[in-house]
Amino acid sequence: MATQPPTPGPDAPVSSGETGGPAFSPLYQQIKALITRSLQSGEWKPGEAIPSEVDLAARYRVSQGTVRKAIDELAAENLLVRRQGKGTFVATHAEEKIQYRFLRLTPDDGVTGPIERKVIECRRQRAPSEVARALDLKAGDAAVQIRRLLYFRARPVVLDDIWLHGTLFKGLTAERLTDYRGPMYALFEQEFGVRMIRAEEKLRAVGADAPAAELLQVAPGYPLLSVERLSYTYGDKPVEFRRGLYNTASHFYRNELQ
């Protein structure tokens, strides 16, 4: 309707240059930020549909095309999933075709059977300095430590050491981890309201130390792929740090460069 700058409603974006603040930002970027805020606040939950583009355009008082461009970027970042004819949905680690979205390990023969998990340990602990630094905690702050094995066809292939932000994951126990069916990240979404959005990994080759060698049933010094992962939720807030040791005898870590 309005080709002139719209009167800002309760949910309307800021007019450019109004606040003399940070800098100019295109309308669709402002809309993107508003949608992200609603995702973060839990207004639309994982797996649910968000309002239609037309509705959002009305709500934010912009054109449908501007909303589309905002959603395009959010879909490209895997925060939203578009389904023609059905709507736009909040991405989720649960109910995904591909379980384990972040796990890049692939069997050499391509046969991807079900993955078994065994939780070895899960306890609250004070964060070591390295973990504290990664998770933006003060050294000694509370953290949750998990140690677990992943089995492919009854063989131990991955040993994970996981450190979680202590306050966000208060109340997580080995029992809840064991009982839960489905990926750990789905549990985090559903039980703790923490969604993993993206992650950074650092890969190295290392020799197995004694405990890892025993758990993965290899000789000490056996070459293992070390995968350090820092996972982020909304607002680029780091909430999980883990180190995985992968036995790559019959699996590899796949990556796409472009």
Partner DNA sequence: ACGCATTTGTTCGTATGTATT
Partner DNA sequence: TAATACATACGAACAAATGCG
Can you give the binding site for DNA, defined by CB under 7 A?
A: 1-3, 6, 16, 24, 26-29, 49-50, 52-55, 62-66, 68-69, 82-88
Residue 68 contact, options its own copies, DNA, none, Cβ 5-8 Å cut-off depending on partner type: DNA
Minimum gap (Å) between residue 23 Cβ and DNA: 9
**Nearest distance from residue 198's CB to DNA, in Å?**
21
Give the nearer residue to its own copies in terms of CB position, either 27 or 122: 27
Cα gap 76→128, rounded to integer Å:
35
Q: Which is nearer to its own copies, 9 or 223 (CB)?
A: 223
CB of 149 to its own copies, least distance (A): 17
**CA-based torsion, 190, 194, 199, 205: positive or negative:** negative
Sequence-separated contacts (24+) of 99-102 with Cβ below 8 Å: 99/182, 99/183, 100/183, 101/183, 101/185, 102/185, 102/196, 102/199, 102/229, 102/231
237 binds, among its own copies, DNA, none (CB under 5 to 8 A by kind): none
125's tokens: 């602990």
* Rounded distance between C-alpha atoms, residue 239 and residue 136, angstroms: 9
What is the amino acid identity at position 84?
Answer: Q
What, of its own copies, DNA, none, does residue 181 touch, CB below 5 to 8 Å by kind?
Answer: none
